[in-house]
Structure 1
Amino acid sequence: MTRLSVELLAADAPEPITSAGHAQLGIAVLVGIAVIVVLITVFKLHAFLSLTIGSLVLGAVAGAPLDKVITSFTTGLGSTVASVGVLIALGAILGKLLADSGGADQIVDTILAKASGRAMPWAMVLIASVIGLPLFFEVGIVLLIPVVLIVAKRGNYSLMRIGIPALAGLSVMHGLIPPHPGPLVAIDAVHANLGVTLALGILVAIPTVIIAGPLFSKVAARWVDVPVPDRMLPPRASEELKGRPSFGATLGTVLLPVVLMLSKALVDIVVDDPDNRTQRVFDVVGSPLIALLAAVIVAIFTLGQPAGFTKERITETVDKGLMPIAGILLIVAAGGGFKQTLIDSGVGQMILDISKDWSIPALLLAWLIAVGIRLATGSATVATVSAAGLVAPLAADMSTAHTALLVLAIGAGSLFFSHVNDAGFWLVKEYFGLSVGQTLKTWSVMETIISVVAGGLVLLLSLII
């Protein structure tokens, strides 16, 4: 996305569905979030219904016409299902094929054999960081969850001790490291150097992921001690299998989407010509949908055939893989609907308007603006794009290194305190079988640690280089 396209995106943004002032919008946000939390925690209402009601309440308090609120909510719900929902479904199928064929057992047995108890969280954060480098956060989640759950169950580890490092690795890559969409948009908006940003991003990411992953997981495990949710735990493969796929074949199948997406990112950087035939081919095969679909198709042969699966057994496996995720899809989709209602109500623009007159250092300003938009809209991408567009003029007099640090400051701020308006919050909650309070004490605190540590390291580097 070029700088021009970012500017056009802002210029073509639809008018807010309400003319409410900043104070009324702020009250509407607080009331909407409070309604969702109370309905779920006090009245034990299903999260899908709570998010739907909370979106309507938000719109009503903001003074928006109800028909426009409904349109915003359904638009956000539909776009979330079209993107994240399809990926969750394909990931669930791949996970079920891994479990039923014995492939997941093969990976877990190898990890348990190679890593001791104390090394396991470090092994998980390393695996998640490598897999998460080219993947969208949601894709990484659906690929890693079966492995995380089985390792925790078979190795008798705390779920948080294993899960938090994996989530930290994925989240840090998503927010700070190109070729993820957010950092790439910010790089283009402020005219930063991709190589310098990547190098400094890795420098910031390593200590950040260590603190938010293996180290914080010790605290998170004490705060929230929950068993592995049986409904999401892939069962052990049947003992009647013809055989078990090799570790190499299984790992290759899991990494196939990673390779395809990373190839697309590299071709985009090297070729950088949307009309080039090679780039167009990789844009297709490296898209998350095609990459995961390809992995599922390949898994039928690399995992299903060694296990002796018939056509009927493969169909049965796909059906069973999809059944447990119906509730998750609806909750995540409703989270997307709530986020879209916030955006269309003008909450993001409100944050931008308020922050225009702040007189503070550019890097801190960029971080704070991204934090505000993230808290208000729940979207890391919206926070990144909006903050980059606002602070882009400040990069004109910056050095190459400081311009790269500006990108990282925006990325760090965009990860701050994920809560009920973020679809990722509900994704983690449902996959790990947590309550809202437990998700806030683990996932949300982890995201905040990532944001604060990364932001602090960026400011520190700005004093050194």
Structure 2
Amino acid sequence: MFPLIVATAGGSADVPPASGPAQLITVALIAVVLIIALISWLKVHPFLALTGTAICAGIAAGMAPGKSVDSFTNGFGATMAGVGVLIAIGAIFGKLLADSGGADAIVDALLHRAGFRSLPWIMAVIGAVVGLPMFFEVGLVLLMPIILLVARRSGVHLLKVALPAIAGLSAMHGLVPPHPGPLVAISTLNANIGLSLAIGAALAVPLVVLAGPVLSFAAARWMPHVRVPEMFTGEGRGGVLQTNSNDDSSRPPAGSHGGHSVGLELQEQTQLSTAVVRKRPSALVTTIGILLPIVCMLVRAVNESLNPNATDSFSTLIHFIGTPTIALGLALIYAMIFFVRASNMRQSDVGRSASDALLSVAGILLIVGAGGGLKQILIDAGIGSLLAKAALGSGISIVLLSWLVAALVRVATGSATVATVTASGILAPLAVGLSSPELSLLVIAIGAGSLFLSHVNDPGFWMVKEFLGLTVSQTFKTWTLMVTLLSFAGLAGALLIEAFI
């Protein structure tokens, strides 16, 4: 969401609340409840529910009808410019990854070297590594083909594969520089980047374990029947139904025979015996393609940390190739050359893969854009600044206050980055004179608060829902619960460290 700072945080600073505090908060609560009711009970398409409710919420908050429409379209456009392009490019990359056989090569390498019990832990590590320099949306579209194919091929419950990887992405997004979110807080509060990195990384490890593998095992028991979506599987058949009867606690290690894995192996052997075996990229070639945008963005983050005001040609080039759209575009070009060449795909196959990928994410793009529109209306109505100012008058610990301000803005606006930027700016005057460890704890508290309670006004909520094929209720029970757990655990860690400094 970092690319949307100007369009969201900057645009809301000059817009005063259109109505009284009670009316604004009431409108926001009613809007959230109405969206959930329309989608869950009346089965209205999420795009229509979000669009209609957002515009009506703006009018109810005191905005002129034309201003409400303009606010929604501005938020929709800003989200599409930032997140939408990334989803589209990432979807094409993911489809080429699947159709060329590159995803199979990665999955085969994972399943060959890891037992079924260790898959959630490995996926958590992969998610954290990918998420370190990567915007959440980019990391999600890069990892989704691997997540879905690992779940399909291994027979492990989808949530045991997906939640750990997404937990790793989310923890890095909120807590650990050089991710841009924490870097904004570090810069605004003049905190020490090295100390903030050390504390954030130390806290991220237990947080990812708790909100990833540990939570995923519980979630798999709550929701035993989850289908692996067709997206990125390279098949035209329906998803694979997974149930808890295939609990991996009784499954033998990868490569052995027994239980559900035998059925999968026999099915795959039958498919291979009746089809022409096509060449595919090696695991190394595929891994390079996945890591390429990560390296580009990481190099940019490191260079900007070491040389924040550099304007030389090298820094300009690094900044350009580290831009998320460019970095992911370079990965797509790499895939269109090396994945295609290694698998002997024809140009017509590449075009078909791109068309299929864009068709499969068209609905996701509209839903995510509408979520961005709702977010912008809530920002322009002044709800985020209203809640932040209320938190400042609470007279509580500055670490807890930092978390509370960020959490309230996050709930009101649906943007972790807007929450980080807003909370950092509000708390900057209070941070003057604090010690270096205390400043780093404020960075951690703000980052943890920015993860709190993702719901229907967050485009990330809809990305996770649509990519994993979950219902709104299931998304609340998995994604929302996971980021909220990360948020509370991050706050607890910051308060614990505060007690010893």
The answer, yes or no, to whether TM exceeds 0.5 is yes
The match for 1:57 is 56
Is residue 260–residue 285 contact of structure 1 (8 Å, CA) maintained in 2?
yes
The match for 1:361 is 397
CA distance in 1, matches of 2:10, 2:34: 30
Which of 357, 360, 363 aligns to 1:321? It is: 357
CA distance in 1, matches of 2:423, 2:159: 32
Deviates more, 1:20-29 or 1:313-322: 313-322
Is residue 336–residue 422 contact of structure 1 (8 Å, CA) maintained in 2?
yes
SS in 2 for 1:119: helix
Letter of the 2:152 counterpart: K
Letter of the 1:60 counterpart: I
CA distance in 1, matches of 2:110, 2:434: 46
Is residue 160–residue 225 contact of structure 1 (8 Å, CA) maintained in 2?
no
Letter of the 1:199 counterpart: A
Is residue 370–residue 413 contact of structure 1 (8 Å, CA) maintained in 2?
yes
Is residue 229–residue 468 contact of structure 2 (8 Å, CA) maintained in 1?
no
CA distance in 2, matches of 1:11, 1:453: 32
The match for 1:246 is 282
Q: Percent identity?
A: 46
SS in 2 for 1:299: helix
Is residue 158–residue 228 contact of structure 2 (8 Å, CA) maintained in 1?
no
SS in 2 for 1:228: strand
Is residue 429–residue 439 contact of structure 1 (8 Å, CA) maintained in 2?
yes
* 1:14 matches 2:14: yes
CA distance in 1, matches of 2:174, 2:445: 10
Is residue 159–residue 226 contact of structure 1 (8 Å, CA) maintained in 2?
no
CA distance in 1, matches of 2:437, 2:225: 44
CA distance in 2, matches of 1:155, 1:227: 14
* 1:137 matches 2:136: yes
Residues 68-101 of structure 1, C-alpha deviations (whole Å, 9 max, x = no match): 0000001000111111111111111111111111
The match for 2:104 is 105
Task: Give how far 1:422 is off.
Answer: 0.4
CA distance in 1, matches of 2:77, 2:117: 43
The match for 1:408 is 444
Structure 1 pair 262–327 and aligned structure 2 pair: CA distance change class (3 A): same
Task: Map residues 232-271 of structure 1 onto 2, 5 A cutoff.
Answer: 232-235=231-234, 239-240=275-276, 242-271=278-307
Task: Give how far 1:57 is off.
Answer: 2.3
SS in 1 for 2:116: coil
TM-score, with structure 2 as normaliser:
0.89
CA distance in 1, matches of 2:15, 2:358: 38
Structure 1 pair 101–12 and aligned structure 2 pair: CA distance change class (3 A): closer
Residues 343-385 of structure 1, C-alpha deviations (whole Å, 9 max, x = no match): 0010111112212211111000000111111111111111111
* 1:281 matches 2:282: no
Deviates more, 1:203-212 or 1:273-282: 273-282
Is residue 407–residue 450 contact of structure 2 (8 Å, CA) maintained in 1?
yes
The match for 1:435 is 471
Task: Give how far 1:339 is off.
Answer: 0.3
The match for 2:326 is 290
Letter of the 1:216 counterpart: L
Is residue 419–residue 444 contact of structure 1 (8 Å, CA) maintained in 2?
yes
The match for 2:241 is none
The alignment covers a number of residue pairs equal to 458
Deviates more, 1:288-297 or 1:224-233: 224-233
Residues 29-64 of structure 1, C-alpha deviations (whole Å, 9 max, x = no match): 011111111110111000000001110221122121
Is residue 12–residue 382 contact of structure 2 (8 Å, CA) maintained in 1?
no
TM-score, with structure 1 as normaliser:
0.95
CA distance in 1, matches of 2:278, 2:147: 26
Task: Give how far 1:11 is off.
Answer: 9.8
Letter of the 1:232 counterpart: M
CA root-mean-square deviation? 1.7
Letter of the 2:389 counterpart: D
Letter of the 1:178 counterpart: P
CA distance in 2, matches of 1:82, 1:241: 40
CA distance in 2, matches of 1:240, 1:338: 49
Is residue 150–residue 233 contact of structure 1 (8 Å, CA) maintained in 2?
yes
Is residue 410–residue 450 contact of structure 2 (8 Å, CA) maintained in 1?
yes
Is residue 208–residue 450 contact of structure 1 (8 Å, CA) maintained in 2?
yes
Residues 196-235 of structure 1, C-alpha deviations (whole Å, 9 max, x = no match): 1001110111111111101111111112234334332422
Is residue 95–residue 232 contact of structure 2 (8 Å, CA) maintained in 1?
no
Is residue 93–residue 322 contact of structure 1 (8 Å, CA) maintained in 2?
yes
Task: Give how far 1:117 is off.
Answer: 1.3
The match for 2:263 is none
* 1:372 matches 2:408: yes
Task: Give how far 1:391 is off.
Answer: 1.4
Which of 335, 338, 342 aligns to 1:306? It is: 342
Task: Give how far 1:271 is off.
Answer: 2.4
Task: Give how far 1:104 is off.
Answer: 0.5
SS in 2 for 1:397: coil
The match for 1:215 is 214
The match for 1:385 is 421
SS in 2 for 1:179: coil
Is residue 231–residue 324 contact of structure 1 (8 Å, CA) maintained in 2?
no
Task: Map residues 320-359 of structure 1 onto 2, 5 A cutoff.
Answer: 320-359=356-395
CA distance in 1, matches of 2:194, 2:277: 48
The match for 1:193 is 192
Structure 1 pair 12–35 and aligned structure 2 pair: CA distance change class (3 A): closer
CA distance in 2, matches of 1:315, 1:19: 49
Q: Which runs of 5+ in 1 are unaligned?
A: none
SS in 1 for 2:227: coil
Residues 284-322 of structure 1, C-alpha deviations (whole Å, 9 max, x = no match): 101110111111111112110011112222112211221
Structure 1 pair 329–344 and aligned structure 2 pair: CA distance change class (3 A): same
Task: Give how far 1:240 is off.
Answer: 4.0
Structure 1 pair 11–307 and aligned structure 2 pair: CA distance change class (3 A): closer
The match for 2:253 is none
